[in-house]
Amino acid sequence: MRETTVGIGAGANELQTELGTSDMVLNIGPQHPSTHGVLRLRLRLDGELITAAEPVIGYMHRGAEKLFEARDYRQIIMLANRHDWLSAFANELGVVLSVERMLGMEVPERATWIRTLLAELNRVLNHLMFLGSYPLELGGMTPIFHAFAEREQLQHVMEEASGGRMHYMFNRVGGLKEDLPNGWLGRVRSAVAAVRGRMDVFDRLVLGNEIFRGRTRGVGVLAADLVRAYGVSGPIARASGVDFDLRRDEPYLAYGDPALASALRVPVRQEGDCLARFECLLEQTHNSLDLADACLDRLDELPQGPVNQRLPKVLKAPEGQTYSWTENPLGINGYYLVSRGEKTPWRLKLRSASYNNVQALSEVLPGTLVADMVAILGSMFFVVGDIDK
């Protein structure tokens, strides 16, 4: 049996064969609007049925892990916040937590609560993008306009505090770059309330849409054993019944505080389909807004004080190794840091959420129809820069 290879987006050579005797290999990408970046999928088709799928990655590879080794610990933050461009604050947070652990450094309490607040605001920004773009991929245009309007509310206050719109560069080893502007907490509270007041757009307009539910219910089911086998994490894993969230199970920052722990809810579904993944993402967005309010309440109670530690001009981590992981918006983000006592790391290995999550496509796509491929692909909620690093 011979194959016919065709391409969408990238193009491919076509092999002539006899009708009725061949499967077709279809290339989706590497430049295709439905793939959240420069990703290529190599599908083997039997008619409209997908019989095999291979995610082909590496088109955006920038060698971030090797670049880490040639830069000091302050410069690494700038590189680290870019691999998942929707989660910049969470990305840089993992680096500073790793270095602080190596140094045995205590961060001021006020800085810890501000970090937690900004991490949850960043989580909402990330999720709103997918809550808007996923319906768009299925033919619904309206939600993306609402998503960008709500993101703008939060991006404005994030930019006011950090000076950055996407790449905040607000974390520092030992705390934060600087204190918050006067009146900023009140403006954040107003922005959170405004976003929460319009979240019913996604509850009613998207989840209440018969076509959306028909395109996603029972489609692209990811079993819990495959979640564990591939190291899938975040809302995708919890939608398949794997109830794990580092904020609750291994608390960091202020997540272990009783006030915050009582406000934290971890949405879990058992179905493991596209609809369950969207529901988990939406419910987690609601909860992040509640967590932001809890952080604001605590910050109102805390007295004014420092938000960072004084550091030497040349910062060197002691010889040793450590692993620090955080619950990023898309899943577990980890940094394995090895130091030989220099101002640059000897090794800094990045474990990104999207890299593991997208590998599960090779198990989820076979047995489904081509028409469902975009629905499944969009529900995996990945960023290609986070895959390729």
d(CA 2, CA 319): 57
Question: What percent of the chain has pLDDT above 90?
Answer: 77
| Residue 7 pLDDT class (50, 70, 90 cuts) | low
- Given a cut of 70, whether residue 235 has pLDDT beyond it is yes
Contact 279, 313 (CB under 8 A): no
Tell me the per-residue pLDDT of 106-131, one tens digit each, with 9 for 90 and over. Answer: 999 999 999 999 999 999 999 999 99
Average pLDDT estimate for 210-223? 95
**pLDDT at residue 316 in the model:** 92
Tell me the per-residue pLDDT of 33-92, one tens digit each, with 9 for 90 and over. Answer: 555 668 888 999 998 899 999 999 888 888 889 999 999 998 999 888 888 889 999 999
- Given a cut of 90, whether residue 3 has pLDDT beyond it is no
Q: Whole-model pTM? A: 0.91
**pLDDT at residue 198 in the model:** 93
**pLDDT at residue 20 in the model:** 56
Which residues lie across from 28 on neighbouring strands? 8, 41
Question: What percent of the chain has pLDDT above 70?
Answer: 93
Average pLDDT estimate for 286-314? 94
In this structure, how many other beta carbons lie within 10 angstroms of the beta carbon of residue 256? Answer: 12
- Given a cut of 70, whether residue 2 has pLDDT beyond it is no
Structural domains of the chain, with CATH: 3-56 (no CATH), 107-310 (1.10.645.10)
- Three-state SS string over the chain comes to CCEEEEEEECCCCCCCCCCCCCEEEEEEECCCCCCCCCCEEEEEEECCEEEEEEEECCCCCCCHHHHHCCCCHHHHHHHHCCCCCCCHHHHHHHHHHHHHHHHCCCCCHHHHHHHHHHHHHHHHHHHHHHHHHHHHHCCCCHHHHHHHHHHHHHHHHHHHHHCCCCCCCCEECCEECCCCCCCHHHHHHHHHHHHHHCCHHHHHHHCCCHHHHHHHCCCCCCCHHHHHHHCCCCHHHHCCCCCCCHHHHCCCCCCCCHHHHHHCCCCCCCCCCHHHHHHHHHHHHHHHHHHHHHHHHHHHHCCCCCCCCCCCCCCCCCCEEEEEEEEECCEEEEEEEEECCCCCCCEEEEECHHHHHHHCHHHHCCCCEHHHHHHHHHHCCCCHHHHHC
Tell me the per-residue pLDDT of 335-369, one tens digit each, with 9 for 90 and over. Answer: 999 999 999 999 999 999 999 999 999 999 999 99
